[in-house]
Amino acid sequence: MPDSLLEEVDGLARQENQNRSEFIREVMRHYIAERRRMELRERLKEGYRTMAQLNRELAEEGSSASEQAFALYEEVLARSDGA
């Protein structure tokens, strides 16, 4: 590691009342936790996109079925009016 980075790490560690090792350990834990959150967020976004497409397809199918049911209803209604 470059000396300038170590000096900055040491300064931050002092501010946190930690030694370099404790500080780096804590920073690594935070980094790993943030990476996991970001990965989860990306997986959730992909899942939402997938579900949006599926929901759209289901809505289109439902709309088509509703239109067919309504057409059948009108047909039956028209026959009963003529009877």
Q: Please give the Cα distance from 73 to 46 (Å, whole number).
A: 40
**Quick one: pLDDT at residue 74?**
79
Q: Which two tokens stand for residue 43?
A: 């997986």
- Whether 83 has a pLDDT exceeding 60, the answer reads no
Instruction: Report if pTM > 0.85.
Output: no
Instruction: Over range 19-35, report the average pLDDT.
Output: 97
pLDDT tens per residue across span 63-81: 777 777 777 777 777 777 6
Q: How high does pLDDT run on average in the chain?
A: 87
Q: Cα separation of 14 and 7, whole Å? A: 11
